[in-house]
């Protein structure tokens, strides 16, 4: 259960509803997930978060699928249950195969392991990496 | 400064030196970075870490560059200074352009922001993400 | 479900019950939340935790509401589900308005984003900040 | 040392320089700290980050000093060295006294302790906190 | 609910089933916990994880119980709900008493508190600790 | 450099000096490490931290060396540079051998890896672990 009530379409402000409409148009579905319904209590925060997310996750030098894989990895490292589920689902919708997912998990696990080792050992950064 | 002395080639065991040789061969350079010189105090840990890293980061359903981008993202989320530097350098060596790097940073920043928001709001996972 | 059984008043030691009584008196309610019922297995840990919490959260240069806002922010950053819920409830009980909560969330989200960016970029600290 | 070169005014794009000018005007100083000089490699990221930061940290239901205290707390929880230094300096500039700082530290320490205890014990959230 | 289906014995590959058999033999029980049933989608990841876990957690300079206590501590610090539960149960099975558990919790809480304080204060490392 | 000046004996309050004296007596050395010199700005925080640390780290169901190993593990997981160095030094002073240290690192690395995997997969806790 969230710390705030999840707002229905009929309960949100006009400003928030306009964001919901943009999300629906961008995704081609009527479904609005809970994250946005929780943020809708603060239309300015909802607007800023959606606008920035749409810009950041759009196609560019990295394609949307690669961006979702990175998003899943960060969400796991930050222990965000909601984000792990929502972005893993998004990655699959954008074409992540079972093989890709297995490799993503392996990299996330390996990075977490060597992160812990390097931090525990306080290894100084090689000069070669700083040039 | 590390919690252990960084070992020179002349100071490590034969087992550790064999791992150094494999790292050199795999990377086509004589340079061994500090992480491995710290791990060399425990040849079994060095061996296990290198073997697994080589397997995980090899080409597969995801190519080595994408894997490095994910590695950088996890290392930043875990606040590992050494790993951020070493894997950012590795990503560049594997072809990461300035445009890719800017987009990687933007995704890492955005994910960290929405991770914090979803956790602070304790948003319940939508059923649609669980099927 | 906790890793230990949540103890009822009739199951705890006299030392633990004395702490429960202090919590009840300080808060003006008979309700003892689960955190304390879990800690009650170790009366010394329960006592030390409650005594310190009461001292830290009392009115001072910062008032109790501001301290709760900070507590919520840290709890979200540390991904503590229990603490996010309990301290968000406490902040509301101490006067946090919807506007304050929206701004708290925005700051927590923004800080998490720039934390990730500064760590990923390994930005060196300006000398001006060190004087 | 950062993973990118810190850009001087003479090296940044017109778009980035416009952001620098806004930062200078908003803060009433010619000084641009390293974080922005690192972000300037990607003018769009620089623009989005500054615009959002300025909006989030402005006076509202919470005043700028309280927002800085929260920012310091999150930065410490996320182990961001740069952010701890820059926002502690900012909090002082906005009026944080030694007494406030001592209390901020005490709350951050206490929250981190009980976060760890509640997570280690996996304490279930009380129904009273969910209504 | 996991991001993948938990696989039954009749659904996994021969390679994965061989790992299940080794887990059963090592633990002297027919029970396979959900972590392995989730990993079984990627037999190579399952194999690598189990082999390394068995090696790392075996008796050595530190006994298996001490290793489990350390595992629980790290899992709590990393906010891993599953791992906290599974390794707390494992520690009990290996002989962790209520007194040990209380002391483990106290150390984890204390370390988390001083970690936060030292990071918030950015205390420089004493030269005496670096020799 | 710390966010506060590290205080010399001649600069601290009588209350803080009394804590310094207790630290010296307990450790049998005149050396006071930087953490306490930073905390000395707030004598009440210094007192509370030292008193609790001394109680928590004393001999009990777990001996002081095991407690230090756990402290190092948590400090690494929390990315606290200062704490990793100070508690690794303390563990060595209490008898941690090179073999123990290698095994500690291996457990910390392995736990971090499986923590990340279990969180990324959102594995549900087995009922067997909850009884």
pLDDT in tens, F89-109: 999 999 999 999 999 999 999
Rounded to whole angstroms, the Cα distance separating F71 from E122 reads 18
Residue-wise pLDDT tens digits, D57-91: 999 999 999 999 999 999 999 999 999 999 999 99
Closest CA to B81 of A110, F78, A115, D36: A115
Rounded to whole angstroms, the Cα distance separating C61 from C52 reads 17
pLDDT for the residue numbered B57: 98
- Cα B12 to Cα B9, B29, E56, distances in angstroms: 6, 19, 22
Rounded to whole angstroms, the Cα distance separating F77 from B78 reads 8
Give SS3 for F123.
Answer: coil
Tell me which chain A residue has its CA closest to the CA of residue B98: A61
Rounded to whole angstroms, the Cα distance separating D76 from E91 reads 31
pLDDT for the residue numbered E48: 98
Q: Which residues of D touch F80 (CB under 8 A)?
A: 79
Are the C-beta atoms of residues F83 and F71 closer than 8 Å to each other?
A: yes
Are the C-beta atoms of residues B91 and B70 closer than 8 Å to each other?
A: no
Which chains would you list as touching C if contact means 3+ CB atom pairs under 8 Å? A, B, D, E, F
Contact A77/B78, CB-based, under 8 Å? yes
Nearest to F102 among B45, B74, B78 (CB): B45
Sign of the torsion formed by the C-alpha atoms of C31, C34, C39 and C40? positive
pLDDT for the residue numbered D67: 98
Rounded to whole angstroms, the Cα distance separating C127 from B9 reads 38
Residue-wise pLDDT tens digits, F116-126: 999 999 999 99
Residue-wise pLDDT tens digits, C10-49: 999 999 999 999 999 999 999 999 999 999 999 999 999 9
Confidence of residue B131 (pLDDT cuts 50, 70, 90): confident
pLDDT for the residue numbered D8: 98
Picking from F3, F5, F47, F48 by the largest number of C CB atoms within 10 A of its own CB, the best residue to mutate is F48
pLDDT for the residue numbered A86: 98
pLDDT for the residue numbered E20: 98
Whole-complex ipTM: 0.97
| CA B120-B126-B131 angle, 5° bins | 140
d(CA B37, nearest CA chain A) in Å = 9
Contact with chain A for residue D52, Cβ under 8 A? yes
Say whether pLDDT at C131 is over 90: no
Residue-wise pLDDT tens digits, A81-122: 999 999 999 999 999 999 999 999 999 999 999 999 999 999
CA-based radius of gyration for chain E: 18
Contact with chain D for residue A130, Cβ under 8 A? yes
Residue-wise pLDDT tens digits, C40-60: 999 999 999 999 999 999 999
Query: What is the average pLDDT across B114-126?
Result: 98
Contact F70/E111, CB-based, under 8 Å? yes
pLDDT for the residue numbered F105: 98
Which chains would you list as touching E if contact means 3+ CB atom pairs under 8 Å? A, B, C, D, F
Rounded to whole angstroms, the Cα distance separating C17 from C36 reads 10
Rounded to whole angstroms, the Cα distance separating F40 from F45 reads 8
Nearest to A45 among C79, C85, C105 (CB): C105
d(CA D41, nearest CA chain B) in Å = 8
Rounded to whole angstroms, the Cα distance separating A22 from E60 reads 59
Confidence of residue A131 (pLDDT cuts 50, 70, 90): confident
Q: Quick one: which H or E segment has residue A82?
A: helix A81-93
Contact with chain D for residue B106, Cβ under 8 A? yes
Nearest to A109 among F104, F105, F117 (CB): F117
pLDDT for the residue numbered F131: 73
Neighbour-count burial of E35, counting CB atoms closer than 10 A to its CB (0-12 exposed, 13-18 middle, 19+ buried): buried
Confidence of residue C8 (pLDDT cuts 50, 70, 90): very high
Domains of chain E listed by start with CATH number: 1-56 (1.20.1290.10), 61-121 (1.20.1290.10)
Contact E106/F70, CB-based, under 8 Å? no
Contact C79/E79, CB-based, under 8 Å? yes
């Amino acid at each position: 259960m969230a710390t705030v009530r999840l707002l229905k379409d009929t309960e949100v402000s006009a400003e928030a509803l306009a964001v919901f409409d943009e999300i629906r148009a961008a995704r081609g579905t009527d479904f609005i997930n809970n994250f946005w319904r929780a943020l809708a209590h603060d239309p300015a925060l909802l607007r800023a978060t959606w606008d920035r997310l749409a810009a950041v996750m759009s196609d560019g030098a990295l394609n949307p699928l690669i961006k979702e894989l990175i998003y899943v990895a960060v969400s796991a490292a930050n222990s965000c249950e909601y984000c792990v589920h929502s972005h893993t689902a998004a990655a699959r919708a954008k074409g992540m195969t079972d093989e890709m997912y297995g490799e993503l998990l392996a990299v996330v696990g390996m990075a977490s392991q060597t992160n812990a080792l390097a931090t525990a050992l306080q290894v100084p950064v090689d000069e070669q990496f700083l040039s």
